[in-house]
Structure 1
Amino acid sequence: MTEYSWPDHGPGAAARVREACNRTVADLPAGTPVTGEVIGRRPFGVFLRIDGHPDAVGLAEVVRMPGCGTLPLMGEWVSGEVIWHAAHHHQVKIELTEWAGHEDRLSARSARPAGRET
């Protein structure tokens, strides 16, 4: 078994997430604190089931993670803050609390190749 997985929301999940997108954006504007369970883990970040918003999909990407950080494990509960909405993927972009303001985050961003900003 690999350490990575895609989120599984069950049958019809994509349609539910798409239909709830406008409500999700209204309910969770940038700056909103959230908690959630890690439901998918990929090399680029973790997907979250956001507490109180069953049809919303959160994504905490590694570009927001400090260089010394690690991705949370499947099933782990995390907290963070909404930083953006990716309408084309119907995702809520989240910065995890443990990553925010970490002194190593700025050095990790400066170490990326030019043109790779998100």
Structure 2
Amino acid sequence: MDEYAWPTSAEVRDADVVRRSWAATVAALPVGARITGEIIGRQPFGVFIRIEGFPDAVGLAEITAMPLGTDLPALGARVSGEVFWHAHNHQVRIRLDEWREADE
């Protein structure tokens, strides 16, 4: 089995739902907001996160924020972090705490 997996439809809302709720997501999760969630997808470029309390939001932590020598969190892992950007493609960009701590 490949170590990488896309989130399934049961894990992520339909793209139209995510798009329609984008303004509310940005308002509820401003830059600097703390989040917790679960890893629901892994790709070579980062991990997708289901953000607790925000079922219509898609979180993404990219490897560009990951310190050298660390690994992507596993599917199902519980993570926490901070919102640092709202992307044009309706993704909440997250900097994971475990990556920040590994960088210090």
The answer to whether TM tops 0.5 is yes
For the residues of structure 2 that align with 1:79 and 1:18, how far apart are their CA atoms? Answer: 24
1:92 paired with 2:101, answer no
Q: Find the aligned partners of 1:67 and 1:60 in 2 and give their Cα distance.
A: 15
| Aligned residue in 1 for 2:8 | 8
Corresponding residue of 2:29: 28
Tell me which residue corresponds to 1:67.
Answer: 68
Structure 1 residues without counterparts, runs of 5 or longer: 104-118
What is the percentage of aligned positions where both structures have the same residue?
56
Alpha-carbon distance, 1:68 to partner: 1.5
In angstroms, what is the RMSD of aligned CA positions? 1.4
Find the residue that maps to 1:99 and give its secondary structure.
Answer: helix
Give the TM-score normalised by structure 1: 0.81
What SS does the corresponding residue of 1:78 show, helix, strand or coil?
Answer: strand
Shift of the alpha carbon at 1:36? Answer: 0.6
Distance 1:5 1:36 in 2: 17
Asked if 1:56 is matched to 2:57, the reply is yes
Bigger Rg, which one: 1
SS of residue paired to 1:54: coil
**Cross-structure match for 1:83:** 84
Unaligned runs of at least 5 residues, structure 2:
none
CA distance in 1, matches of 2:97, 2:13: 31
Give, in whole Å, the separation in 1 of the partners of 2:48 and 2:9.
Answer: 11
Which portions of structure 1, spanning 4 or more consecutive aligned residues, are displaced by more than 3 angstroms?
9-12
Deviation at 1:9, TM superposition (A): 3.2
